[in-house]
Structure 1
Amino acid sequence: MDSQTSTEQSQDRPESSDKQVFEIFIQPGFSDLELSAVTSVLRTANEVLNRDRFTWQITSDVPGLVNSSAELIARANPAIGDQYLKDCLIVIAGRNSSPQGWMVRLRAMQKVRRRVVLLSDAAREFVRASKDQEGRAAAHWRDVSLLREVGTFPMLSEQLVVDSGGVMTCAGHGHTLEAVIGILSETLGARECAEIASLLVLDNVRSFSQEQPKGTSYNPNFFEKRLQKALRLMETNIEQPLKLAGLAEEVGLSSRHLERLFMVYFETTPAKLYKKIRLKQAHKLVTDTHMALIEIAIACGFSSAASFSQAYKAEFGETPTQLRRKKR
């Protein structure tokens, strides 16, 4: 195929400036939740406007039939270097994907000052690739904690969305619906955006600057306040775990009362649940980073690599060394 000139690229945009074309770039293992959220908002916006103002094209660096993380299949057109750019590029990467497949398109979009949106996994990989650059970026809170364990990322934010240098990095996942409505609000009126949210049964569209809810303790609808506070203390004190007496004192209960609450609501003791929370964090570090196991053990509150390995095997059925050996 002949290379496309910049004039031809500009002609590739819709003839009417009112219409917008979105390129949704996916990679193997992409989030079907995020893809569905993006297309659902665009389709609903067209329904509200009673015309096809927003259209989209799904592309990939591995075109054809692309499997999601849930083994659903999407048909993708080829993404060719920096050619055939649309009005907005939305990247939905996979958990183990590489930014090399979409970084060229991102830079090309920046050059012509068009919107780029990176959701969850793509945002994480962008942060990794851009750690020495100025400007802020967001990522899913799970990835924020991982990134901070393996390096220094002064640009990293725990906001839902950060817009910097024409690149919008997002927490993604369930917030994707709200993020896309926020993007459309740049060209649509408040009444139209409110109607889109209503049709999608969203009672609130949070601002981009709002902090992400981090961990199970941040949803008030599942736990009573004292349990919520205890869980939050556990989730925020991974490296130096609190003793039961100290945890109970912070919550305002006796140790025995706190243990009874945990048995009623969780059918386990505070100590066992605390260890499970720490092991979940350790599992993410084992699978998603190259940190030494002793460093992971210390970061997750274990006194030695041996005690960590033993607890890890009891929880996941194999040692961290065995798991890493399988993934090579």
Structure 2
Amino acid sequence: MKEQRQVVELDSPPAKPRRFVFVLLDNFTMLCFASALESLRIANRMAGQELYSWYLVGEGGEQVQCSAGTSFSVDGDLGELLRDDTVMLCGGIDVQQATTRRLLNWIRREARKGLTIGGLCTAGYTMAKAGLIDGKRATIHWENQDSFAEEFDEVELTKSVFVVDGTRMTTAGGTSSIDLMLKLIADDHGEELANAVADQLIYSSIRTDQDTQRLSVPTRIGVRHPKLSQVIQMMEANIEEPISPSILAKDVGMSTRQLERLFRRYLNRSPKRYYMELRLQKARNLLMQTDMSVINVALACGFASPSHFSKCYRAHYDTTPYRERGTQAARLSI
């Protein structure tokens, strides 16, 4: 069957394609990279001309493995780029290990040329480590938000799907690469082309930088009870200095006993237990993703003493914080 498509007419076709240089970090997330690349490919197809080109690089200049275990051949090593290139760092799991000294030196050098640089998924960490987003707004996957905020307090961290601040761009991971690329395509060549690309991707809800990355509390917990959602939001916003159940109950206009019944009915646990699980989850993220001491992790998650923290952690995860940290360090050294 002969393929038919309607070509989007551009008001002013570019003199030459805009080149994107994708920097694949070890264990990069394939979805983020593929979403960005496919958006550019489809833009070319829908315009009937080459609006964008791309070039893949990685340390060593040969192959880079993604987090799914598949290896990708790259076009070159970390070398000299052109002044009008757009750089997209593609991160994934274990981004701290993938952010090598050589990579940091290279990206700092290229940044001095005034290049536009973006970080997909966890590559916002690499940009922050290189000092590229000091004093700027940025985002990163919600799972990495706690550790990022602890390490880079000079960056204005948001929970947006993506952020564009001047010549610096960051995304939250997953399909947020599509949202960022659609914005860039719209800025370059108009909304009509961006919408045509979205249609080809069967992407019916285009998000902006005003959209947040996580599901709402009711959707996440599967319960649509306004007061329960309000209490959980308060808990999530007050991890370092936990609020007592009695104050939480009072703030939403109910008694402590009513709050207890609400949690038991919908979440099959007490408010105190649910709050503890939130704090321990954050603690585990910090242990796995930062080099913060166990004592500082305990304090950041509202535990007054390391011994109490260790006792609660062991009861929930069946291991101690110190062993968790040791296991993570051993895994990263492999």
Residue in structure 1 matched with residue 5 of structure 2 by the alignment: none
Moved more, 233-242 or 169-178: 169-178
TM-score, scaled to structure 1: 0.81
On the 8 A contact 2:172/2:213 being kept in 1, the answer is no
Helix, strand or coil: the match of 1:185?
Answer: helix
On the 8 A contact 1:25/1:92 being kept in 2, the answer is yes
**C-alpha distance in structure 1 between counterparts of 2:134 and 2:236, whole Å:** 30
Q: Which whole-Å deviations, capped at 9, do the CAs of 1:36-77 have from their partners, x for residues lacking one?
A: 211221233233223443332322114444222233433323
On the 8 A contact 2:83/2:113 being kept in 1, the answer is no
Helix, strand or coil: the match of 2:89?
Answer: strand
**C-alpha distance in structure 1 between counterparts of 2:181 and 2:102, whole Å:** 23
Picking from 38, 41, 45, the partner of 2:39 is: 41
Residue in structure 2 matched with residue 11 of structure 1 by the alignment: none
- Residue 50 in 1 paired to residue 51 in 2? no
Residue in structure 2 matched with residue 139 of structure 1 by the alignment: 139
Moved more, 273-282 or 107-116: 107-116
Residue in structure 1 matched with residue 287 of structure 2 by the alignment: 286
Could you tell me how far 1:171 is from its partner in structure 2? Answer: 2.9
**C-alpha distance in structure 2 between counterparts of 1:115 and 1:150, whole Å:** 24
Q: Which amino acid aligns with 1:34?
A: C
On the 8 A contact 2:287/2:297 being kept in 1, the answer is yes
Percent identity, please.
24
Moved more, 223-232 or 278-287: 223-232
Residue in structure 1 matched with residue 180 of structure 2 by the alignment: 179
On the 8 A contact 1:218/1:228 being kept in 2, the answer is yes
**C-alpha distance in structure 1 between counterparts of 2:183 and 2:221, whole Å:** 25
Q: Which whole-Å deviations, capped at 9, do the CAs of 1:165-208 have from their partners, x for residues lacking one?
A: 52323333332210111112221211111222233333443333
TM-score, scaled to structure 2: 0.80
Residue in structure 2 matched with residue 27 of structure 1 by the alignment: 25
> Which 5+ residue runs of structure 2 have no aligned equivalent?
1-13
Aligned positions, number: 310
Could you tell me how far 1:278 is from its partner in structure 2? Answer: 0.5
Could you tell me how far 1:107 is from its partner in structure 2? Answer: 4.2
**C-alpha distance in structure 2 between counterparts of 1:192 and 1:222, whole Å:** 37
Moved more, 309-318 or 245-254: 245-254
Could you tell me how far 1:216 is from its partner in structure 2? Answer: 6.0
Pair 251,88 (structure 1): closer, same or farther in 2 beyond 3 Å:
same
**C-alpha distance in structure 2 between counterparts of 1:124 and 1:306, whole Å:** 31
**C-alpha distance in structure 2 between counterparts of 1:43 and 1:242, whole Å:** 50
Picking from 88, 91, 104, the partner of 2:89 is: 91
Residue in structure 2 matched with residue 157 of structure 1 by the alignment: 157
**C-alpha distance in structure 1 between counterparts of 2:321 and 2:279, whole Å:** 14
Q: Which whole-Å deviations, capped at 9, do the CAs of 1:128-170 have from their partners, x for residues lacking one?
A: 3318x864141325444323334531x3231544444523233
Could you tell me how far 1:233 is from its partner in structure 2? Answer: 1.0
Residue in structure 2 matched with residue 269 of structure 1 by the alignment: 270
